[in-house]
Structure 1
Amino acid sequence: MKIGYARVSTADQSLDLQLDALEEFGCEEIFQEKQSGAKDDRKELALALRNLRAGDTFVVYKLDRLARSTKRLIDISDLLKEKNVEFVSIQDNLDTGTAAGKAMFGMLSVLAEFERDIIRERTMAGLQAARARGRMGGRPKVNEKKLNHALALYKSESMSIREIENATGVSGSTLYRALAKVKLHNKAGDIV
């Protein structure tokens, strides 16, 4: 069975060109949605991928309709291989049912891995350079005196969180984390 997937980014764009091409290619079922390709939680794409069975062919008009990043494209490719499903991109002349199509998808996989390795190397080099300059990264240490003052103000119920932030310089998220620790500590004391 040939299953198609069509996507445009905004509600005012038309799917007609893609739908016509997918129908002409012989797709028996076509999943369609109007949502950004940058989002990984596309419902219709997930449904299309779930409905694929061994021996099916998954068809898109163009690769960028399926995924915006090489990594996401490779993730989908791996899923299709696991399910024993062929993949066709009409405009890109890519068909994993052919030797050339399989080779092209293999090259995409190698390039994605290379890209991940380069990013990892750059990140590690950047962290090493920052450490050499005395920067350690991570969350800055909280001034315990200010935090205790903020906790006391919170417990007194005399100020709002925003007022506490302005008066002490302790952010609301830091205050809430400290309150959660206090509650957890109190509960642990109750258990013992």
Structure 2
Amino acid sequence: MRVSSDSDRQSTDLQRDALLAAGVDARHLFEDHASGAKDDRAGLARALEFVRPGDVLVVWKLDRLGRSLSHLLALVTSLKDKRVAFRSLTENLDTTTPSGEFLFQVFGALAQYERALIQERVVAGLAAARKRGRIGGRPQAITGEKLDAIIAALDGGMSKAAVCRNFGVKRTTLIETLARVGWTGSRGASSR
């Protein structure tokens, strides 16, 4: 059982009543007062530790167990690996039946399709951005006049540690930037 917050307005009573009416032993009810988006749900963790091969994990409604289709599928797959069945009362899903098992296979295919569509959109979006001159990732920390001044200081004999202090840059950023522009450590060797 899960409600999204500890608020007095939200109660697990409806879920509890439905689970008890379905034959779930009151000693085997696990409760969370947290968002479904949280991974660290103590009640769910206890329920997953409690179940044994041959058991059936029963929930009142699918959204009480998983925050998304992919999360729900991962949980049900984990249960299946433990030889534990899954049942949702509201949606009338039951993996102990052929139709329930088939429906979860369809859910799995839909989740895989959704992941592929997301990946396709990301790739297309990055390509469109590149076409418009936008390169993905974080903006470069050292560019333009600052980079020219840093290279001049290094070419003039200043140590990298001193450059980092004087220009307020991290050593790793400096090293990566120098590698990107092809600076090799001597005047005139830079590809800039």
TM-score bracket for the superposition, by shorter chain length: 0.7 to 0.9
The Cα of 1:151 is off from its aligned counterpart by 4.6
Partner of 1:7: 2
The Cα of 1:181 is off from its aligned counterpart by 7.5
Partner of 1:163: none
Q: Deviations over 1:62-96 (max 9, x none)?
A: 00100121110110011011011111100111111
The Cα of 1:27 is off from its aligned counterpart by 1.7
TM-score relative to the length of structure 1: 0.73
Q: Separation in 1 of the partners of 2:34 and 2:163?
A: 43
Aligned residues: 156
Q: Separation in 2 of the partners of 1:44 and 1:67?
A: 13
More helix by share: 1
Q: State the one-letter code of the partner of 2:44.
A: L
Q: Separation in 2 of the partners of 1:44 and 1:180?
A: 43
Compare CA radii of gyration and give the structure with the larger one.
2
Superposition map of 1:1-192 within 5 A:
6-12=1-7, 13-28=10-25, 29-143=28-142, 145=146, 151-152=164-165, 178=170
The Cα of 1:143 is off from its aligned counterpart by 2.1
The 8 Å contact of residues 62 and 91 in structure 2, kept in 1 or not, is answered as: yes
Aligned Cα RMSD in Å? 2.4
Q: Separation in 1 of the partners of 2:34 and 2:171?
A: 39
More strand by share: 1
Q: State the one-letter code of the partner of 2:70.
A: K
Q: State the one-letter code of the partner of 2:122.
A: T
The Cα of 1:150 is off from its aligned counterpart by 9.2
Q: Residue 150 and residue 58 in structure 1: after superposition, are their counterparts in 2 closer, same or farther (change >3 A)?
A: farther
The Cα of 1:25 is off from its aligned counterpart by 1.5
Q: Which runs of 4+ in 1 moved over 4 A?
A: 146-151, 179-182
The Cα of 1:180 is off from its aligned counterpart by 7.3
Question: Where does the alignment leave 5 or more consecutive residues of structure 1 unmatched?
Answer: 1-5, 154-167, 183-192
The Cα of 1:152 is off from its aligned counterpart by 3.0
Q: State the one-letter code of the partner of 2:48.
A: L
